[in-house]
Amino acid sequence: MASLPTFADVQAAARRLEGVTLRTPLLENARVNAMLGGRLFLKAECLQRTGSFKLRGAYNFLALMSEADRGKGVVGWSSGNHAQGLAEAARLLDVKATIVMPADAPALKVANTRASGAEVVFYDRIKDSREAIGQDIARKTGATIVPPYDHPWILTGQGTAGLEIVEQAKAAGVTLDAVAAPCSGGGLATGIALAVKGLSPATSVHAGEPAGFDDLARSLSLGTKQTNAKLSGSICDALLAPTPGDITFALAKTLLGPGLVVTDDEVLDAMETAFREFKIVVEPGGAVALAAALTGKLPVKGRTVAVVCSGGNVDHATYIRALARRAA
């Protein structure tokens, strides 16, 4: 394995993204704090361009490509948020993008990906290999594969959100005891951990995952990469990677604390709380870290904690289901 990315790489990514990505707010709510007995901050990456954090990594990757390679186009695979982030990064840098998406991806994410000018190729999650399809496209066209998480350029781009979290907390006069982020393949969580540990070494960083798809939590517990038994079956469609990445797991072993695992019902409750108390729309996969804090799996009592709400691209039916969890 090539040398692992560093804190300095995250700082360099932040310079590339300046003026491209938004510095999303760090939100706090007095009622929620009183209920939890501590201070909880939400990093609202659901308000980022394309509705999730994914533009950070995708733009950083494309910005680091040679002009010749950009001219041949890029190809990626994603259930939606990486698709949208990569498509928008490609549009901003005038690069042709082809995205391989599961046939059951939320219609909103497909429409948004196409709206940024990308070509969408569908696959069956159960029968097909998205990697094989993407690699075949790259072979035939000369396009560069832009992976969703397991690449230094991707995860250091995602890590810029962690720089902002620590800086914004400092501006609020607080030092964070813990930070948690949603996790699929681990790019966001490990990128944020690189940034947070670089600025605030005593702050613990954790990855949140849906029950049944907690491969990173189990991998950290056992010390070796684990694979999920199923490929689908959670409302957290953005968090269904089968196993941690090689680079992300190598970083996770040294940077992350124990994993946080939440149920779909806990995620729906967190989405409703985000709407009611923080006035933001969060998709299921984007709400797992918040769910961990609200349920005490990530302790907030007597502490100061920040969680990343990583995306807000949720279909109407799922969102209505979340809001219906609490009587009007």
- Whether residue 229 contacts residue 281, with contact meaning beta carbons closer than 8 Å, is answered with no
Distances (CA, A) of 126 to 230, 276, 281, 299, 311: 9, 36, 30, 37, 25
Domains and CATH numbers, the chain: 7-53+152-323 (3.40.50.1100), 54-145 (3.40.50.1100)
Mean pLDDT, residues 70-92: 93
Q: In what order do the strands lie in the sheet with 260-262?
A: 26-28, 39-44, 304-309, 178-182, 204-210, 260-262
Mean pLDDT, residues 207-223: 96
pLDDT at 326: 78
Buried b (16+ CB within 10 A) or exposed e, 87-119: bbbbebbebbbbbbbbeebbebbbebbbebebe
**Angle at CA 53, nearest 5°, toward 248 and 176?**
75
* Total-model pTM: 0.94
Q: Which residue has the higher pLDDT, 1 or 94?
A: 94
Give CA–CA dist 219/146, Å, rounded: 25
Whether 327 shows a pLDDT value over 70: the answer reads no
Give CA–CA dist 47/285, Å, rounded: 15
Catalytic positions, written as ranges: 54, 310
